[in-house]
Structure 1
Amino acid sequence: MSTLYLFYKPYQVLSQFSDDKGRTTLADYIKVPNIYPAGRLDYDSEGLLLLTDEGALQARITEPKYKLPKTYWVQVEGQITDEALEKLRKGVELNDGMTRPAKAAHFQAPAWLPERPEAVQPRPGLGTSWIELTLLEGRNRQVRRMTATVGFPTLRLVRYAIGTWTLDFIKVGRYRTTEVHMPVATASVVRKPSTKNPTAKTQTRKKSS
């Protein structure tokens, strides 16, 4: 069994435990020693970040060959069209090549999703709309580049899920744990329900002094 930490990364927090520029990092929220992120989430993005001390589990989560889907809630500038969504589904040409087919749909942000500390600012008269986008790959700033390519720049980006792990029941800046069993004979990752209080291990949102 391996312990997996599901952390709701706030806006403008680095997905690492140290920074020579004095920016807010994971160390300001997570005090557990010897755990590391399984993947990254941009400084100006929010949402689910997985951490573990188990190298094999980290590889299963991050390596492209396992094709673990990642689901994003994306607030874009303007009212996104069905035509733009269809382009995202089929794949768009970026400067590092064509993207894989994706799932893309109109979306209404849930009531429990908190406001971002720094409000989004669309250009006058354009407004915003939300989409849900699920990818099977993870290039640098891929979601932002994809929506910009189809004419709807990303203003806010929240990663909701990685595989079957989600943000459900996690507050911003806090985490819960779950136990994961990795069978030797299969490449799949099987979740085991945690017997721990989902909010028992938490850190405050304020930066430590």
Structure 2
Amino acid sequence: MPLILFNKPFQVMCQFSSHATRETLADYITIPDIYPAGRLDADSEGLLLLTDDGKLQHNISHPTLKQPKTYLAQVDGVPNKAMLMQLRNGLDLGDFTTLPCEVHQVQEPDWLWPRTPPIRERLSQPTSWLAITIIEGKNRQVRRMTAAVGLPTLRLIRISIGKISLATHPLWPGESREIAPSELMNM
């Protein structure tokens, strides 16, 4: 029963089946019969957990189990207190209202890899980094949240799921490693 940590690169599809124009998980992981426990869209990077154990996959990804997932979001602009409070308290995004979450403005981590291709930079418009921890995971949720408060996301990196973090299990984009499922105790 392998549990694989994978640092999904930008523009890689979160699927094993082939894609007409993009790389997929199959271009990086050759272990048979494993599947991602949750997904990241092609524009997002970072931590993905994969397993062949259906129960473990369910425990990691099912929304009712409310596993915290932390993202680093590089946003266009500088948040003020009101924007951060809106994000923390939950937002009506039209088709659903987000649950309250943790949001902090942070410095860009020194362990963060450069993105290829790099994000666009405008000297007249500063960017900021936010650490956002949510317990749900609707489609493009973090991007929609930051846009709703006037801070469009330029770069989005999932850095942790539950107790597993890229800070404690460093991997470069495209790298993977197997860990013991026991490391996910209390999930």
Shift of 1:19: 2.6
- 1:169 alignment counterpart: 170
Query: Which deviations, in whole Å up to 9, do the C-alpha atoms of 1:138-171 show, x marking residues without a partner?
Result: 1000000000000000000000000011113212
List runs of 5+ in structure 2 lacking aligned partners: none
Distance change (3 Å), C-alpha of 1:106 and 1:20: closer
Q: TM-score, normalised by structure 2?
A: 0.93
Shift of 1:31: 1.0
- 1:141 alignment counterpart: 140
CA contact (8 A) 1:77 1:122 kept: no
CA contact (8 A) 2:16 2:25 kept: yes
Query: Which deviations, in whole Å up to 9, do the C-alpha atoms of 1:16-67 show, x marking residues without a partner?
Result: 1123414100111111111110110010110000000000000011111111
CA contact (8 A) 1:9 1:47 kept: yes
Q: Which shows bigger deviation, 155-164 or 172-181?
A: 172-181
The residue type equivalent to 2:110 in the other structure is: A
Size of the alignment, in residue pairs?
Answer: 184
- 1:61 alignment counterpart: 60
Which SS does the other structure have where 1:97 is aligned? Answer: coil
- 1:18 alignment counterpart: 17
Shift of 1:180: 1.4
> After TM superposition, where is structure 1 displaced by more than 2 Å over at least 4 residues in a row?
none
How many Å separate the matches in 2 of 1:155 and 1:80? 14
Q: TM-score, normalised by structure 1?
A: 0.84
CA contact (8 A) 2:113 2:172 kept: no
List runs of 5+ in structure 1 lacking aligned partners: 183-188, 192-209
The residue type equivalent to 1:190 in the other structure is: M
How many Å separate the matches in 1 of 2:69 and 2:118? 25
- 1:30 alignment counterpart: 29
How many Å separate the matches in 1 of 2:123 and 2:150? 16
- 1:190 alignment counterpart: 185
Q: Percent identity?
A: 49
CA contact (8 A) 2:13 2:25 kept: yes
The residue type equivalent to 1:176 in the other structure is: R
Aligned alpha-carbon RMSD (Å): 1.6
Asked which structure has the greater CA Rg, the reply is 1
How many Å separate the matches in 1 of 2:85 and 2:18? 40
Pair 1:6 & 2:5 matched: yes
